[in-house]
Chains A and B, each alone.
Chain A
Amino acid sequence: MVTMTDAAAPYRIKGETGEWEVVVGLEVHAQITATKSKLFSGASTTFGAEPNTQVSLVDAAMPGMLPVPNKECIRQAVRTGMALDAVINRWSRFDRKNYFYADLPQGYQISQLYHPLVGEGEVEVLVDEKDESSAKRIGIERIHVEQDAGKLMHDQHPTMSYVDLNRCGVALMEIVSRPDMRSPAEAGAYLRKLRAILRYVGSCDGNMEEGSMRADVNVSVRKPGDEFGTRTETKNVNSVRFVMAVIEHEAKRQIEVLESGGTIAQETRLYDPDKNVTRSLRSKEDAHDYRYFPDPDLLPLELDEAFLDECKASLPELPDAKRKRYEGLSITPYNASVLTAEVETARWFDALLEAGAEPKQGANWVVAELFGALNRLGKGIEECPVSPAGAAELLKLVADGTISGTIAKQVFEIMLETGEGASAIVESRGLKQTSDTGAIDSEIDKILAANADKVAEYKSGKQQLFGFFVGQTMKAMAGKANPQVVNERLRVKLS
């Protein structure tokens, strides 16, 4: 079996009977982290708290307890829907999904089956961020709001399992895509884009390690042009990488089954990241009958225009719009894409522009210098030791010729180390660039004298040695010479 990896060509898996296409749909569960309280109770939702310390009477389903919708959760889900260009349903309703499990105190999950809060929407993704032609639209079928369950702990006692209800009742948005993805890369791009949008909107922090975002991965295969095949659903996959691995693995598994004459069972599977395999959890026949029905404890949600207007007005500039704006400022498409991929980067960069940096120069500097430094320090941009205003000051010194690009790197290092301002560093350490031709000429003369052989070579046609003389001069001037002046003077002296 060979997987085609050419980005331009459609993703195909070569089987014994020919090429196969994979069809992927994702159900992403995104925790509404914008509020620190649960969907139907006032309990807190802080991650990592001691077991059963964030549980209200409602969460524990004590007798006579009733759910009351948390308006802020609804607001965040509506804002998310709007950011995904989706239809917001003015009238929606909560349903009960009934099943027994120890992590589900009520014996039902409050969800939305029949009338979800958010209807159809769409996300545009760049499968390859360096290639505008790789853009693809992924349809959103719906977003509904529901409660999370608690957690069973199997490692606390030799024969018993313990229950931690901290997560119980936490608000989730289930974002259901259309089966529009055709490769692991597309699914990865969709997930990353979705995560970015959620983080821009602020409804979900997108933290997959802490479980605030996880995906159920629906995969089927078919011969290109055929009807959809039978799909399997792999539950609770908690990283972009794993989602892509599940698709790759599951597609290959299904092709092997089909090509050896078998059929795909519509079933729920689990992914084991250690062994990189999926295995069957339960088949359609064993599937629960969830006995969905409208929750009689809750009234239908009816949204008025004022509420929707406020939600709309509160939306920030979203990644696509921001990217286009950056490109309009002569920032390269690649830089624009990189700068808008994470909301923190975009915020930092906006602040840099706000502080007066020239966009194109600023973008180049952030992508090359700042990212490099942060990488080295192992820090995120939100913990960057240099403020956008501080960086703007540095860039201005380069732009107005006060220091050279080389010195700028030095100054930036000092800024990172000491926290001093760029101008102060340049001032106190005498790093100002000089255009004093007298001083530059005197250094050039010494260098030409010391390198008479190279001068001769240059003059006999080895033009590339010009860079050597520039470098030697800059070095002699401790980097402070204005490179333009050095160039000019060298040309004169070598002619």
Chain B
Amino acid sequence: MSELTTKTIAELRDGFRAGDFSAREIAEGFNAAVAASKALNAYTVETPEDALAAADAADKMRGQGDLPPLAGIPLGIKDLFATKGVDTTAGSHILEGFKPTYDSTVTANLRKAGAGMLGKLNMDEFAMGSSNETSTYGPVLSPWRRKGSNVGLTPGGSSGGSAAAVAAMIAPGATGTDTGGSIRQPAAFAGICGIKPTYGRCSRWGIVAFASSLDQAGPMARTVRDCAILLEAMAGFDPKDSTSLDLPVPQWEQNLSSDLSGKRVGIPKEYRIDGVPSDINALWDQGIEWLKDAGATPVEISLPHTKYALPTYYIIAPAEASSNLARYDGVRYGLREEGVKTLDDMYAATRAAGFGAEVKRRIMIGTYVLSAGFYDAYFTKAQRVRALIKQDFRKAFEQCDVILTPTAPSAAFGIGETTDPLAMYLNDVFAVPASLAGLPAMSVPGGLDGQGLPLGLHLIGNELDEQTVLNAGLAIEERAGFTARPEKWW
């Protein structure tokens, strides 16, 4: 392993600028690490030549004045982002071989910032899953293993490839997307950082849609600072996305500070739920202490509609998905099953062959809740509950500046261990409320459980206040001293 792959994005950036190493050396180091990581199944496509081209461009630019912020940094890109000329499949058989003629706004922003691409990262099919087991390419294996065990673990999902790649240091950072925890839960499972910004910060244009009112892109990296650096490059107003926020991008990195003096940290009592391992509750308490140590004051808050968040999410997200995924019909691109007589038969055969079980389940749930006669009972009611959940947070942020909770109710579980879809959905119980409210939220590694697996702490901020989330994350990062890395077995 090249020494360079162990460095953070900030270190790579600064070292490259200082002339300690070239961008080509960075790219070559990561390309080699990627090529040697097949056992993880993290990448669905490798694009070493892309990483090298960006690196050479960066090397050429160095010494010629201002360098773009990510010059010399290669990244992994979740397969949900459209990448021009490179397979973009959302982990689905139905899009196998699809090469867009366009780049998503987020990946285009990253390119403009000088970043190269190491490859496309595996994920749950259409971002539907919490374990990366629904991908048509098979599950990603977490680089982490339980102490003394060879059991393959999930890196979480849906951004499982991104989490595994960053944890395994086969990418210094990666893009993720989060609809109901898909950045934060895998970040927690893999012992890395990941932030979902305020809904609308990152353009959704060119990101394969799962649930439009919830989908948000965000970075996954090993440190809070790296997340701030990446998010600054990814975010920004995009006139091609009507829901994009027309606001300037804050200088999150420059304003990073772990001094939380005067800040109040909300501890929601409704997040103390049964069946959560004691390690996780203990880490939560530890997190409160760390934030106190950083100058913050803990306050107990109430988010009374929390228990309705998961059912609400599992009405709204599938409803939107059932409609968003209607375009995969075999007519214009992607898979088409031939040898059928009618158009309806072609649709049925193509979608039956092209979608996996979890995607079909959600399309059916979504179709059901939008059906005449059920719409008001499910969808309309869910929209109302969503408004109440937003209101819960609005009230809570009158009493506090940031909210601390665990990221997930468990550490990483084994591949194939969770077969009940409902048990799987429960994994996002802490992550989903912030998604429904469109709030910025981040997972930061806090420590290891008894089996040696990472656990994450979850910070939820007020609308547009990514800065406080990042700052609280930094305070935890500094105090947790989380330096554990998976032992290389792949």
| A interface residues (Cβ-Cβ under 8 A, vs B) | 57, 60-69, 96, 98, 100-102, 105-108, 161, 163, 289, 291-293, 296-299
The verdict on A68 contacting B375 (CB below 8 Å), with A100-B347, A102-B343, A107-B326 known, is no
Q: Does B206 have its Cβ within 8 Å of any Cβ on chain A?
A: yes
Nearest residue (CB) in A for B102 is A57
Contacts A61-B332, A291-B367, A293-B379 known; A298 to B242 CB distance under 8 Å? yes
Residues of A within 8 A of B229 (CB): none
**Interface code B308-346, partner A: CB below 8 Å = 1, 0 otherwise?**
000000000001101101110101110000000001100
Q: What residue of chain A has the Cβ atom nearest to residue B380's Cβ?
A: A293
Q: Is the CB of A163 within 8 A of B331?
A: yes
At the interface, yes or no: B168 with Cβ under 8 Å from chain A? no
Cα separation A65 to B324 with both chains bound (whole Å):
10
Which of B95, B213, B332 gathers the greatest number of chain A CB atoms within 10 Å? B332
B327/A106 in contact, CB under 8 A: yes
Since A69-B242, A98-B326 are in contact, a sample of 13 more A-B pairs with Cβ atoms closer than 8 Å, ordered by chain A residue number, is: A57-B101, A57-B102, A64-B100, A64-B104, A66-B204, A68-B242, A98-B323, A291-B322, A292-B375, A293-B379, A296-B211, A296-B320, A299-B243
B237 within 8 A of A: no
Given the contacts A64-B207, A107-B326, A297 and B243 also touching, CB distance less than 8 Å: yes
Determine if B326 and A63 form an interchain contact, defined as CB atoms under 8 angstroms apart: no
Query: Contacts A60-B332, A98-B370, A298-B242: A291 and B82 contacting too (C-beta < 8 A)?
Result: no
Which residues of A are found within 8 Å of B102, using beta-carbon distances?
Answer: 57, 62
**B344 contact set on A, CB distance < 8 A:** 100
Q: Which residue of B lies closest to A67 (CB)?
A: B242
Tell me the bound Cα distance from A63 to B329 in angstroms: 12
Residues of B within 8 A of A (CB): 81-82, 88, 90, 95, 98, 100-102, 104, 204-209, 211-213, 239-243, 319-320, 322-323, 325-327, 329, 331-333, 343-344, 347, 367, 370-372, 375, 379
* Nearest A residue to B373, CB-CB: A289
Q: Assess the A105–B332 pair: CB atoms within 8 A.
A: yes
Are A293 and B370 interface neighbours, CB within 8 A? yes
The chain A residue sitting closest to B379, CB to CB, is: A293
Question: How many Å from the CB of B155 to the closest CB on chain A?
Answer: 24
List residues of chain A with CB within 8 A of the CB of B347.
100
Specify which of A66, A69, A101 lies most central, judged by the most chain B CB atoms within 10 Å of its CB: A66
> How distant is A213 from chain B, measured CB to nearest CB, in Å?
28
Q: List 12 A-B contacts (CB under 8 A).
A: A57-B101, A57-B102, A64-B104, A64-B205, A66-B204, A68-B239, A107-B326, A107-B327, A108-B323, A163-B332, A293-B370, A297-B242
Q: Nearest CB to that of B211 among chain A residues?
A: A296
A61 — nearest CB in chain B belongs to which residue?
B327
Most buried by B among A63, A66, A102, A108: A63
- Which of A106, A108, A296 gathers the greatest number of chain B CB atoms within 10 Å? A296
Chain A neighbourhood of B320, CB < 8 A: 293, 296
Given contacts A63-B98, A66-B240, A66-B242, contact A105 B327 (CB under 8 A): yes
Whole-angstrom distance between the Cβ of B374 and the nearest chain A Cβ: 10
Q: Which residue of B lies closest to A294 (CB)?
A: B383
- A63 with B327, Cβ < 8 A, contacts A57-B102, A289-B371 known: yes
Instruction: List the count of A-B residue pairs having beta carbons below 8 Å apart.
Output: 99
A297 contacts which chain B residues (CB < 8 A)?
Answer: 209, 212, 242-243
A292 to B204, CA, bound (A): 22
With A66-B242, A293-B370 as known contacts, state yes or no: A107 contacts B332, CB within 8 Å: no
From A106, A289, A299, B326 is in contact (CB under 8 Å) with A106
> Closest approach, in angstroms, between the C-beta of B453 and any C-beta of chain A?
34
Closest to B347 in A: A100
State how many angstroms separate the Cβ of A251 from the closest Cβ of chain B: 30
Is there an interface contact between A68 and B240, defined as CB atoms closer than 8 Å?
A: yes
Determine whether the beta carbon of B241 is less than 8 Å from that of A63: no
Knowing A100-B347, A296-B212, A297-B212 touch, does A66 contact B241 (C-beta < 8 A)?
A: yes
A102 to B320, CA, bound (A): 21
Nearest CB of chain A from residue B473's CB, rounded to whole Å: 29
Contact yes or no, A291 B100, CB < 8 A: no
Q: Which residues of B contact A108 (CB under 8 A)?
A: 323, 326
Our pick among B98, B104, B327, B372 for the contact of A289 (Cβ within 8 Å) is: B372
Closest to A289 in B: B372
- B88 — which chain A residues lie within 8 A by C-beta? 63
Cα distance, A63 to B103, chains bound together (Å): 11
Instruction: Name the residue of chain A whose CB is nearest to the CB of B207.
Output: A64
**Interfacial chain A residues near B343, Cβ < 8 Å:** 101-102, 161
A99 to B71, CA, bound (A): 46
Chain B positions within 8 Å of A98 at CB level: 322-323, 326, 370
CA distance A309 to B81 in the complex (A): 42
A106 to B332, CA, bound (A): 11
Pick from B81, B205, B243: contact of A65, CB under 8 Å? B205
What is the bound-complex CA distance between A100 and B95, given in angstroms?
18
Q: With contacts A63-B327, A289-B372 known, is A296 near B213, CB below 8 A?
A: yes
Q: How far is the CB of A44 from chain B (nearest CB, A)?
A: 18
Query: Which 8 pairs, one residue from A and one from B, show the smallest C-beta to C-beta distance?
Result: A107-B326, A291-B370, A296-B212, A296-B213, A61-B327, A64-B206, A63-B208, A297-B212
- Write the nearest CB–CB distance from B83 to chain A, whole angstroms: 11
B340, chain A: closest CB distance, angstroms: 12
CB contact between B331 and one of A67, A102, A293 (< 8 Å): that residue? A102
**With A67-B242, A100-B329, A105-B327 in contact, is A291–B371 under 8 Å at CB?**
yes
Task: For the complex, give the distance between the alpha carbons of A100 and B330 in Å.
Answer: 11
Chain A residues with Cβ under 8 A from B327's Cβ? 61, 63, 105-107
- Determine the chain B residues whose CB is within 8 A of the CB of A67 once the complex forms: 242
Chain A residues with CB under 8 A of B329: 100, 102, 107
Whether A107 pairs with B90 at a CB distance below 8 angstroms is no
Could you tell me the distance in whole angstroms from the C-beta of B77 to the nearest C-beta in chain A?
A: 13
Contacts of A63 in B (CB 8 A): 82, 88, 90, 95, 98, 100, 208-209, 327
| Chain B positions within 8 Å of A68 at CB level | 239-242
Distance of A173 from chain B, by nearest CB (Å): 20
Residues of B within 8 A of A161 (CB): 343
